[in-house]
Structure 1
Amino acid sequence: MAGFVFVPYSADGHVHPMLPVAAELVAAGEPVRMIAGARFAARIAGVGASAVPADRESEVWSPPRWGPGELARLARVRSGRAVALRALARRCAAEFRARRPAAVVVDPAVPAAAKAARRLGIPVVWFSPTHARSPRLAGTVLVNSLPELQPRRHRFGHRFHFVGPLLAPAQRCAPSLPGPLLLVSPGTVFARTATFFRSIVEEFADSEWTVRMATGHLAPAELGPLPDNVLARRWLPQRALLAETTVFLTHGGMNSVQEALAEAVPMLLAPRNREQRATARRLVGLELGARLRGSARQAAEQLAADPRTRSALEEVQVRIRRGDTARLAARTLVQAARGS
């Protein structure tokens, strides 16, 4: 047996946290293979791991609102996802039989990969990109999260290792943008309507704020003409821009949240699902952000000026910069593979 095989759910927020851990293992001389969609191949190779393309990849999408058209498309997405996951299970079984890795690292969203590994007697380590989910997960569980961001209703034992945030090295934007910067990003899964983005444009037009919006599934052209202080693109270099950001308007996905915490950026939270709402409640309770209710501009200005939020963010940022999370996660994986 040699090396490790990583099996994420094939979406940005699930693949990206695994990459720093894979890089640490490769640097320590451990072979690493990762089974994911073909669009991630370059990023996987970039950390020195071997990319194993999944046979099928489904669309990852959630509509901005519910109507007949969205429901029909969502049904197609879910059907395609089920087919893709069955194909992934077959690919995993073949990969595990051929490679006999020391351990398989599995996202809880793809449990069939864990089942295939256990049939062959290969150790399984769970890797949750957000919350620890259920305490019923057997064996070692790595969680890409600070422990205080977890919902308080669960109590987890020594098998659960909160090793986050697992972030890629930050790139810096240059030159600095004028005025306070509002960064708006709804994430790569949850679509937003043109109305959502236009309301922000209207509030911040002709203000001293610079606004950068990542529209994701929505074509920026649907927003119409934009004022000089607003730029909209489908994708923006979020991690780099956060180094310049004054307030971050986010859906509250764990990767986005922890990238903001690493840069001590206060968050204006507009969550879309139960997991994001749970994270948002923790952030508000810790005075690291506020829920978006009413005027985005008023809320952004209050957050930017709040000394308690600034102090709380700086305290978390110091802890994040002091930690060596990827190395800790890699060491835990090696110990789990050895049964120690």
Structure 2
Amino acid sequence: MLHETYRLVYGRDMTSRKRAHIAMFSIAAPGHVNPSIEVIRELVARGHRVSYAIPASFADRVAVTGADPVIYTSTLPTEDNPEAWGTELIDNVEPFLNDAVQALPQLAEAFTGDVPDLVIHDITSYPARVLAHRWGVPAVSLSPNLVAWEGYGEEVAEPMFAELKQSERGKAYYARFRAWLDENGLSGTDPDRFMGRPRRSIVLIPKVLQPNADRVDESVYSFVGACQGDRADQGDWQRPAGADKVLLVSLGSTFTKQPGFYRECVKAFGDLPGWHVVLQIGKYVDESELGEVPANIEVHSWVPQLAVLKQADAFITHAGAGGSQEGLATGTPMVAVPQAVDQFGNADMLVSLGVARRIDTEDATADALRAAVLGLLDDPEVVHRAEEIRLGMASEGGTQRAADLIEAELPVG
């Protein structure tokens, strides 16, 4: 139905478009690659040739979609060393410019003689926009998280960056950014607008997770909701016989050095009558650090999260963009324990939607966690609201609509 709607809106059958060369650009981070995977798989299935620029550590993940990995060397910190991002705002933004400056020549050379018809890119891939300008082809941002609304600059960005812009390090950063843009044919372009204001953006999150959604310019930003696919390649999970309730606990893949938190989870739900717990502890914590683990808790360094959530009754999450929308897409009530960056805002948004409770890490005791989870499931309004949001997300279009919108940006003729 959605596909037919878009055929009528754009006045042409999207499936009959000529085979195009589409270039995707991203960074080596699960939260930036994973949201795009199913969209890329769909574009390939529609007959397009997709080149996906990515560091080698994610090449296999890209290749299974049918896209051609274009390998480049990145200087960005990886999920193995999150501490390298530092503690100040400048520590979080400077690495992206540094990486862009050194990656641009690599990427330009990789596409010599093979210029794409369209560039799609993660929000962090500055070289993608420069190359699209150089090549004279359209560029479309794929945003894995919230986007700017009308008034965002005055309300959020300006206060956040004011101190940085007055510091010597901040002034040097902006001067270098402007010089880099000037050198690459984007003279006069404001770095803040370059980073945060794309010409066209497809937003890979449900609209309910977007703050001030009523003030987002939908001529620029199109929300398509979760693009999850069946994730069959990640494996399956089966609910144990006799489990009345299933709880998934996961802090994602990066901010998982939390043995104390996991011990509190074991204490909270171990031997709780009728409950089965799937506890993902990541690769930085050894199961031996948890002490004695009761039989109703299975411990893994990694689990096929979506497969578990489809059968879970509750979800303790760090409220990353991926986990938040997977919890919403499966109608699973959540306890949000945010760890970093956008997770705090996501946690508050989930709470405001009526489907979650927030507990900060320092307050995440066994008693608090147990009370939050049991309280969620005892509240019929939470269950009703979770199901209402799940149904609403299912109507946003997801992968099919994202691919339709990308095809609509391809040059005609």
- Report the TM-score range of the alignment, normalised by the length of the smaller protein: 0.7 to 0.9
8 Å CA contact retained: 2:40, 2:67:
yes
Find 2:398's aligned residue among 325, 328, 331.
325
5 Å matches for 1:55-70? 55-56=73-74, 58-61=76-79
8 Å CA contact retained: 1:58, 1:77:
no
Query: Given the two structures, how large is their TM-score scaled by the length of structure 1?
Result: 0.88
Find 1:315's aligned residue among 379, 383, 388.
388
Find 2:199's aligned residue among 139, 144, 157.
139
Find 1:174's aligned residue among 228, 238, 241.
238
Percent identity, aligned pairs only?
28
Listed one character per residue, the Cα deviations across residues 169-203 of structure 1 (whole Å, up to 9, x for unaligned) are: 15552254523122111111223321111111111
Counterpart for residue 290 of structure 1: 357
1:159 to 2:205 alignment: no
5 Å matches for 1:91-102? 91-102=106-117
Aligned AA (2:254): V
1:121 to 2:125 alignment: no
- What are structure 2's unaligned runs of at least 5 residues? 1-18, 151-192
Q: Distance in 2 between matches of 1:240 and 1:99?
A: 39
Find 1:8's aligned residue among 26, 38, 42.
26
Aligned AA (2:45): A
Listed one character per residue, the Cα deviations across residues 254-303 of structure 1 (whole Å, up to 9, x for unaligned) are: 11111112211111001123422222222111111111255101110111
Counterpart for residue 198 of structure 1: 263
Aligned residue for 1:338, secondary structure, equals: coil
1:149 to 2:209 alignment: yes
Aligned residue for 1:183, secondary structure, equals: strand
1:212 to 2:278 alignment: yes
Query: Given the two structures, how large is their TM-score scaled by the length of structure 2?
Result: 0.73
Would the alpha carbon gap of residues 99 and 240 (structure 1) be closer, same or farther in structure 2, given more than 3 Å must change? same
Instruction: Report the CA distance between 1:106 and its aligned residue.
Output: 1.4
Aligned length: 335
Q: Distance in 2 between matches of 1:115 and 1:134?
A: 24
Would the alpha carbon gap of residues 54 and 133 (structure 1) be closer, same or farther in structure 2, given more than 3 Å must change? farther
5 Å matches for 1:237-316? 237-292=304-359, 295-316=368-389
Aligned AA (1:248): F
Of the structure 1 ranges 314-323 and 190-199, higher mean CA displacement relative to structure 2 is found in 314-323
Q: Distance in 2 between matches of 1:335 and 1:252?
A: 32
Would the alpha carbon gap of residues 143 and 79 (structure 1) be closer, same or farther in structure 2, given more than 3 Å must change? closer
8 Å CA contact retained: 2:85, 2:92:
no
Counterpart for residue 227 of structure 1: 294
Would the alpha carbon gap of residues 82 and 212 (structure 1) be closer, same or farther in structure 2, given more than 3 Å must change? farther
Q: Distance in 1 between matches of 2:102 and 2:392?
A: 41
Listed one character per residue, the Cα deviations across residues 94-140 of structure 1 (whole Å, up to 9, x for unaligned) are: 23433211111111212132123212222211111111147641311
Instruction: Report the CA distance between 1:146 and its aligned residue.
Output: 1.3
Aligned AA (1:223): L
Aligned residue for 1:201, secondary structure, equals: helix
Q: Distance in 2 between matches of 1:84 and 1:226?
A: 43
Q: Distance in 2 between matches of 1:92 and 1:11?
A: 18
Q: Distance in 1 between matches of 2:149 and 2:131?
A: 20
8 Å CA contact retained: 1:62, 1:190:
no
Would the alpha carbon gap of residues 278 and 88 (structure 1) be closer, same or farther in structure 2, given more than 3 Å must change? same
Of the structure 1 ranges 273-282 and 199-208, higher mean CA displacement relative to structure 2 is found in 273-282
Q: Distance in 2 between matches of 1:81 and 1:156?
A: 25
Q: Distance in 1 between matches of 2:117 and 2:407?
A: 8
8 Å CA contact retained: 1:183, 1:247:
yes
- What are structure 1's unaligned runs of at least 5 residues? none
